[in-house]
Structure 1
Amino acid sequence: MEKDIEEMCDSSNCFPLRTMESAKLETVCIFGTGDFGRSLGLKLLQCGYSVVFGSRNVNSSNLIPKGAEIFGHVEAAKKSSIIIIAIHREHYDFLSGLADALKGKVLVDVSNNLKINQYPESNAEYLAGLLPGCKVIKAFNTVSAWALQSGTLDASRQVFICGDDNKAKEEVMEIARCLGLMPLDQGSLLAANDIENYPLQLFPMWRLPCYICAGFTVLIFLYCLITEVFHPLAEKKEDTSYLIAISIPNRVFPIVSLILLALVYLAGIIAAIIQLYKGTKYSRFPNWLDQWMLCRKQLGLTALAYAFLHAIYTLVMPIRYYVRWWADYYLVKQIKSNGTSSFSNYYAWLSDSYVALGILGFFFYVLLGITSLPSVSNAVNWREFRFVQSKLGYLTLVLCTAHTLVYGGDRFIYGAFYRWYLPPAFVVSLIIPCAVLVMKFILIVPCLDQRITKIRQGWERKSKVVNNGSSNMQ
């Protein structure tokens, strides 16, 4: 039996066996024989703990892991000082009748709700109110039963723990470490509400980037629809609706990608301007700017996803029916007219430059995305990460902006491309990126750059109060 436990601990990322001799003698009680309770019990058994289950149906021994015991709630509570409450909040009421048996025990609340802020107080605080003689700890609610059963805890190894009793909290954290988890102390039981809301959040840092991306996507799509489908239909009675499938998306994706990339760096520029204006870094930014700066990574990754779509759509262009038809039509037209088009060195340079800038821009785009991955960013120091995300990030923006400028070529000045007096879509895409690059160029002027550096190092432009009550700026 001891050898089996050794093997199970080795395969379950438990602590080495020599550090768990005392843990083997401990008994952990679990109230609840549902999926999570059984999975947690199995994991505890594998790591050397004795496990007893408290259940209203003591005849359901076939449900619990082999090696565990099952008793009534009162008898099970007597066998351990730590009791894990693996039941839903709506069933907590029966615990009031066990107040005497649970007095002085450590109760570990692992429950979650169906939606954020479902109740006025957290489940752990509600449990503490029901049983004031117990030490309630919130823990393990961010770990799934499936991860415990399958042993794939890599994606959810970190667990948040909070409680008012430090000694009880340390005992629970020791259990978490033995299970191969990384406990993070969140303080008192007041933090339980945030801990319970955490697993219910649906990509909280991605909401704003997704809204921004969706908004620009819809606006640019409608703009292209007006200039490339509605205009030919109204002016020439020409049906170009087939462009909606490939051509228009292949305009929307790069335009939105370039705008989102520019927005990543625009937030930092606005923050620098505010710091210059206020003369300090100790003044809070507006909430909208705080939210914007916090989601810059997600904005950049969304921009990279759109750049990938643009690359894929561009690669399939030659196999489109319209492109093949147009090539054949142009060739036949030349044969019939017995004419040829002479080679243009200017357009050859323009085309190759456009493609080369696009390839280089996409390469650095991918490099930025790779370095934002936790596994990569953790392997570089702060200066290296800042160099890639800032210096190479601006280089990427320059290359992608130049790619769009060269793509436009001399079409910027041709009136035929301004339909209903609306500029081509690629002109619209250049507004924000060019504005960002111009502002960045201004901010790196030595006098401004040095002032921003001083402010970010703690220097402040303070007011100096004089005797007459007025103040002069230093």
Structure 2
Amino acid sequence: MSAARLSSMSKEVNSESVLLCPLSMAAGPEQKLLCIFGTGDLGRSLGQRLLQTGYKVVYGSRRPHSCGPLPVGTRALSHGEAAQAAGLVFICIHRENYDFLETLAPQLKGKVLVDVSNNLRKNLYPEANAQYLQRLIPGAHVVKAFNTLSAWALQNGPSDASRQVYLCGNSAEAKQAVAETATKLGFTVLDRGSLSAARELEDFTLQLFPEWRLPLRLAIGLTAFFFFYLLIREIIYAYVEQGKDISFRIMVSLANKVFPIVSLIMLALCYLPGVIAGFLQLYRGTKYRRFPDWLDRWMLCRKQLGLLALAFASLHVLYTLIIPIRYYVRYRLSAHTILQIKENRTSEFDTTIAWRTDSYYSVGILGFGLYFLLGISSLPSVSNALSWREFSFIQSKLGYLTLFFCSLHTYLYGWKMFLNSSSYKWYTPPGYMLCLVVPSVVLALKVLLVLPCVDRTLTRIRQGWERTDPEDGCKQSLLM
């Protein structure tokens, strides 16, 4: 686009001469003027943020004199006047109201139109909103952007956590203009290609916890399995074999056994894919072969698995804290004390039991403290302040230490009960024994990976060395 063409598009707004560059948005001494169609929450929040960043903003409205309060420093014009005033226009209106834009095609020709709209559900229309807008105004340069941000995020900026702006469009210059604006607002820009990707960006906002689906299903499945497993072992067994009705224990005692079991298994599942990946790389002798799709998906949801595991661990802590105030516990303590008084006897202090219980509680507290540290460091606002080495140290090395402490906590809980035949009700093992299988396997495999001979080879592979390196001219020994 020539300089003469750019100069011809300059207009006099508010008695000031503003140089308008609709595509390149070249920097100049004057404040750039941007236009927003729509005076709803999103439009007002976007305008406020643009003003704070140094832009001038004008709104286009059907009712410019009665469109409600707008950010101080802006003004409302008719759509036609606002369209002529600026070279970059944000379309903050719903798709069903796009039809009037076709009448503004002459004023919008050559302008950059930023479509920020979303739909209520997927496949509501045969084509993406941005593609429909481009068809209505073929002379404009439509860019899909900012639709993945809420009005709150636009108004407050990325101060609370990292925020990304996805964009797509057919004009490289138009995308560059929008990218410069988003960058100046403090957001990170990710270019998703041509306007054909607009459907993907619009569907992105309609997804309901896509990265949480597998972890949530796994958590629900494990909780349901162990709940019914322990229900049969603890409650139904006592009723059938001993004629006791202890169904009241479902609410606290049974739940307080299910929560730590699920938490420990899910924590182990956070680190199991990394161990599997390490052995795969050792087996293949290279890091340049893709992992299986199931392993990729598993590794991508480790953060969600860990946070759910922390949630179950927190529930276990809360349920444990209320044990002393339970009616059942207070009744048992009182009955035991009265029985000792009647029989005129006292229980001798057992040092072994004291050591075991204190160790059990101490290790559990240390494990939960590390657990909590892992959860905090996974928050974007915290992880952004950490270097990669710091983040890796916390999530990997301290993570395995957390798994070790939590597993040791469970081993101390079981102690030597596995030797008692009475523990195997209806020939089924206790729940704590089942939950130790996966963590024990993960820790054992991790010990193998940190052996010096194995760790040295794995480190070389992850640095780019291959077992059949062409420069070596011969096959290398795996454990060199």
| 2:360 is equivalent to residue 354 of structure 1 | yes
Matched, 1:277 2:298: no
What's 1:468 paired with? none
Is the 8 Å Cα contact of residues 357 and 403 (structure 1) preserved in structure 2?
A: yes
Match of 1:84 among 74, 82, 90: 90
Residue in 2 that maps onto 1:425: 431
- Deviation larger for 219-228 or 33-42: 33-42
Question: Which residue identity is paired with 1:22?
Answer: E
Offset at 1:70? 4.0
Other-structure match for 1:122: 128
One-letter amino acid of the counterpart of residue 382, structure 2: V
Q: Are 2:25 and 1:22 aligned?
A: no
Shift of 1:62: 4.8
Shift of 1:253: 1.0
Indicate the residue corresponding to 1:397 in structure 2. 403
Q: Could you say which residue in structure 2 is the equivalent of 1:141?
A: 147
Counterpart position of 1:447:
453
Partner of 1:237: 243
Task: Confirm or deny that 1:301 pairs with 2:314.
Answer: no
Task: Report whether the alignment pairs 1:261 with 2:248.
Answer: no
CA distance in 2, matches of 1:72, 1:358: 66
User: Which 10-residue stretch deviates more, 87-96 or 236-245?
Assistant: 87-96
1:460 matched to 2:460? The reply is no
Structure 1 letter corresponding to 2:30: S
Secondary structure of 2:345's counterpart equals coil
Distance of 1:372 and 1:149 partners within structure 2: 25
Structure-2 residue corresponding to 1:345: 351
Q: Partners of 1:337 and 1:277 in 2: how far apart?
A: 67
Could you tell me which residue of structure 1 aligns to residue 4 of structure 2? Answer: none
State the one-letter code of the partner of 1:163.
G
1:68-107 to structure 2, matched below 5 A, reads: 68-107=74-113
**Relative to structure 1, is the Cα distance of residues 336 and 212 closer, same or farther in structure 2, using a 3 angstrom cutoff?**
same
Which residue number in structure 2 is paired with residue 414 of structure 1? 420
Whether contact under 8 Å (2:33, 2:58) holds in the other structure is yes
Q: Secondary structure at the match of 1:30?
A: strand
- Aligned-pair CA distance for 1:349: 1.6
- Please state how far the C-alpha of 1:219 moved relative to its aligned partner: 0.8
Q: Distance in 1 between matches of 2:89 and 2:82?
A: 9
> Are 1:110 and 2:125 matched, yes or no?
no
Q: 1:142·1:156 contact (CA, 8 Å) conserved in 2?
A: no
1:293 counterpart letter in structure 2 = M
> Is the alpha carbon distance of 1:186 and 1:81 closer, same or farther for their aligned partners in structure 2, counting shifts above 3 Å?
same
Q: Tell me which of 390, 410, 419 is aligned to 1:384.
A: 390
Change in Cα spacing, 1:442 to 1:120, as seen in structure 2 (3 Å) is farther
Q: TM-score by structure 2 length?
A: 0.85
Deviations 1:112-164 (A, max 9, x none): 11124544443212222332211111222233334556779645754233323
Distance 2:245 2:428 in 1: 20
TM-superposed CA distance for 1:61, in Å, is 4.9
Shift of 1:67: 5.1
Contact 2:61 2:67 in 1 (8 A): no
Greater mean alpha carbon deviation, residues 141-150 or residues 238-247: 141-150
TM superposition shift of 1:343: 2.1
Output the CA distance in 2 between the equivalents of 1:216 and 1:400: 18
User: Percent of aligned positions with the same letter in both sequences?
Assistant: 56
Shift in alpha-carbon separation, 1:249–1:194, aligned structure 2, 3 A: same
SS in 2 for 1:281: coil
Distance in structure 2 (CA, Å) of the matches to 1:260 and 1:332: 43
Whole-angstrom CA distance in 1 between matches of 2:378 and 2:161: 17
Cα offset, 1:218, TM superposition: 1.0
Contact conserved, 1:61 with 1:69, CA < 8 A, in 2?
A: no
The DSSP-based 3-state class of the residue aligned with 1:22 is: coil
Following superposition, the deviation at residue 372 of structure 1 comes to 2.1
2 CA distance for matches of 1:407 and 1:156? 42
Where 1:420 maps in the other structure, the secondary structure is: helix
1:49/1:445 Cα in 2 relative to 1: closer, same or farther (>3 Å)? closer
Given the alignment of the two structures, is residue 248 of structure 1 paired with residue 245 of structure 2, yes or no? no
User: Are the structure 2 counterparts of residues 396 and 53 from structure 1 closer, same or farther at C-alpha, using a change threshold of 3 Å?
Assistant: closer
Q: 1:473 to 1:29 in 2, by over 3 A?
A: same
Map of 2:216 onto structure 1: 210
| Partner Cα distance (1:279, 1:119) in 2 | 49
Q: 1:269 to 1:332 in 2, by over 3 A?
A: same
Q: Does the alignment pair 1:365 with 2:371?
A: yes
- Deviation track 1:440-473 (CA, whole Å, cap 9, x = no partner) reads 2233333333332222222223499xxxxxx999
Unaligned runs of 5+ in 1: 1-18, 465-470
Note the C-alpha offset of 1:357.
1.4
Supply the AA of the counterpart residue of 1:384.
E
- Distance, in Å, in 2 between the alignment partners of 1:149 and 1:421 is 62
Q: Distance in 1 between matches of 2:188 and 2:28?
A: 17
- Provide the residue aligned with 1:318 in structure 2: 324
Contact 2:157 2:187 in 1 (8 A): no
C-alpha distance in 2, partners of 1:156/1:265? 26
Structure 1, residues 166-210: CA drift from partner, whole Å, max 9, x if none?
322233334334545444444433443333233333322222211
3-state SS, counterpart of residue 461 of structure 1: coil
**Residue 14 of structure 1 corresponds to which residue in structure 2?**
none
**Do the aligned partners of 1:140 and 1:161 also contact (CA within 8 Å) in 2?**
yes
The verdict on how the C-alpha distance between 1:61 and 1:319 changes in structure 2, with shifts beyond 3 A counting, is closer
Please tell me whether the aligned partners of residues 108 and 139 of structure 1 are also in contact (alpha carbons under 8 angstroms). yes
Name the CA shift for 1:69/1:364 in 2 (closer, same or farther; >3 Å). Answer: closer
Aligned to 2:15: none
Q: Residues 361 and 189 of structure 1: is their aligned pair in 2 closer, same or farther, counting only changes over 3 Å?
A: same
Q: Is contact 1:280–1:459 with CA below 8 Å preserved after alignment? A: yes
Contact 2:215/2:305 (CA < 8 Å) preserved in 1?
yes
2:6 counterpart residue number:
none
Q: Return the alpha-carbon distance in structure 2 between the equivalents of residues 182 and 381 of structure 1.
A: 19
**Using a 3 Å threshold, how does the CA distance of structure 1 residues 96 and 218 change in structure 2: closer, same or farther?**
same
Q: Is the 8 A contact 1:116 1:201 kept in 2?
A: no
Amino acid at match of 1:315: L
| Distance change in 2, residues 1:362/1:89 (3 Å) | same
**Which aligned pairs between 1:174-185 and structure 2 lie closer than 5 A?**
174-185=180-191
Change (3 A) 1:180 1:472: closer
- 1:58 and 1:369 map into 2 onto residues whose CA distance is 49
Q: Decide whether the 8 Å contact of 1:143 with 1:156 is kept in 2.
A: no
Q: How many residues align?
A: 448
Instruction: Measure how far apart 1:245 and its partner are.
Output: 1.1
Moved more, 143-152 or 386-395: 143-152
Change (3 A) 1:127 1:313: same
Cα distance in 2 between the residues matched to 1:264 and 1:57: 55
